[in-house]
Amino acid sequence: MALAFVVFFALVTTAVLQLADAVELRQAHTQSATSSDAAAEGGMFLAAQAAEQAGADCVVGTQATISMTTTGATASYRTAACNPGTTADLLADQCAVCVLGNQPSTVDGVLGAEGPVVFNHGVTGSGSVSADPGVVACGPSSSCNAAHISPSPPATLGGTVSPDAPRLPSPPPQYECRALEDDDGTRSNPLDSGCYFSDTGTIDWDGSETQHHYLSPGSQVIFEDPLSITNTLVTVEDQGPDQSAATLDFMPGTSLSIGDGGQLGDGGQLTGDITLEFDPGGLDTDLCPTRAVICVGTGGSLNVTGGVFATGGGSAAGMEVQAGATADVSGSAMTGTGNALVVGSLTIDAKSPRQPAGTVQVDASPPTGGYCWVYQDDVLGNTGTVIGGVVVEAACEGGTTAGIISIDYGS
């Protein structure tokens, strides 16, 4: 009966289990040790089958036991950790929200993401940080103690994350950008790549009329001065689906501030894929106390269906979202990276007596190759003690299979 677990689970799981591509089996045992390892192997197969069924819903603390009615022997596992990513590199450059700077971020409001959230130097505050599906992770020796972090406990990075954000070189300026005239409902004369907005000071779009700009796919429009949007709706549209994203490129010394009543987007999402790129040299000192390059003030909103990347020159700039403000970022245009919001620091303010908490929602496309959800499980003996471990990949690229990466038979 010692081999009963092995035979049983092999029959049950043959149709659904595959060994992972990067198998690192630590099966330091011989055929003569099979009997003593039967409980560990039973727990291993039970954990793998459970991971296949749960897919991306990995929950720390989940456990299960199965007993053989004839002998009373049991096979058990308990999930010790959950990490999305690839077999070779569990987080690396796969973060949907990547906060890279050398200071802790402050989240007193709400940060939600689809995909991993990484703070290289930690996060504090009274608000909530959630990754669903995903993981919240902080750099080594940093504080990771916002009031509510989900899934919990947060993971600890083995080192700092430095994603290769897809910042493009700025095209040479060509001519002053012109607003699109489309009173007759037609869309023509898109802004050419390399056109620029410049006002030898702050470009102030404040309560005049709705600004609508139409960009060719793959084009880059340059802002040579800080942009301030208040009391008006600014929409930016690219040519259509399945095209390369258009880019709003904010040059060194510029910034984006969205004040009360200001909207960049349409209150939902921009039409097409628009990416915002910022140079970390820009500073906004009026609207945001943190001097963030990207500042969404009370009553303002930012909606982007591409990505927001405040990186350049080996550093990254900050983003602040005040109480009563919202920022929605979808990484749909960034297929192949997994990144949607890459900044140096992130500040989200708490609710005030008259305003709800600041809110940032980020939805990222999985990177090329997709996410694999990695289950790190303890295998338990009859008395509940840990007798081994198993690491299992599940739901790679959204699929339904599971693969065993490693097996540890204990001491």
pLDDT in tens, 68-109: 777 777 889 999 877 655 443 445 457 889 898 888 899 999
**Burial class of residue 313 in the structure, from the number of CB atoms within 10 Å of its CB (0-12 exposed, 13-18 middle, 19+ buried):** exposed
> Is residue 156 within a helix (H) or strand (E), and if so which, with residue range?
strand 155-156
pLDDT band (50, 70, 90) for residue 158: low
The secondary element (H helix, E strand) that includes residue 165 is none
Q: Is the pLDDT of residue 197 over 50?
A: yes
User: By C-alpha distance, which of 363, 355, 279 is closest to 317?
Assistant: 279
Q: Which helix (H) or strand (E) element contains residue 406?
A: strand 402-408
> Residue 268 pairs with which residues in a beta bridge?
none
Over residues 130-146, the mean pLDDT reads 82
Tokens (6 digits) for 279:
């140079």
DSSP three-state, residue 45: helix
pLDDT at position 411 is 54
Q: What is the pLDDT of residue 6?
A: 47
Average pLDDT, the chain: 75
Longest Cα separation, the chain = 84
Res 92: pLDDT: 46
Is the model more confident about 175 or about 158? Answer: 175
The residue ranking higher by pLDDT, 214 or 304, is: 304
Between CA 41 and CA 8 the distance in angstroms is 11
Q: Is 398 helix (H, G, I), strand (E, B) or coil?
A: helix
Q: Give per-residue pLDDT as tens, 318-375.
A: 899 999 999 999 876 555 567 889 888 899 999 988 999 999 999 886 665 556 678 8
State how far Cα 39 lies from the chain centre.
38
Average pLDDT over residues 214-243: 77
What mean pLDDT do residues 386-394 have? 87
- More confident: 365 or 226: 226
Please calculate the CA angle 245-246-248 and round it to the nearest 5 degrees: 130
CA atoms within 13 Å, Cβ hemisphere of 341: 29
Q: What percent of the chain has pLDDT over 90?
A: 18
What tokens does 246 get?
């258009």
Q: Write down the pLDDT at residue 29.
A: 33
- pLDDT category, 192, cuts 50, 70, 90? confident
Distance CA 36, CA 32 (A): 9
Helices (H) and strands (E) in the chain, counts: 2, 34
**Entry pTM:** 0.70
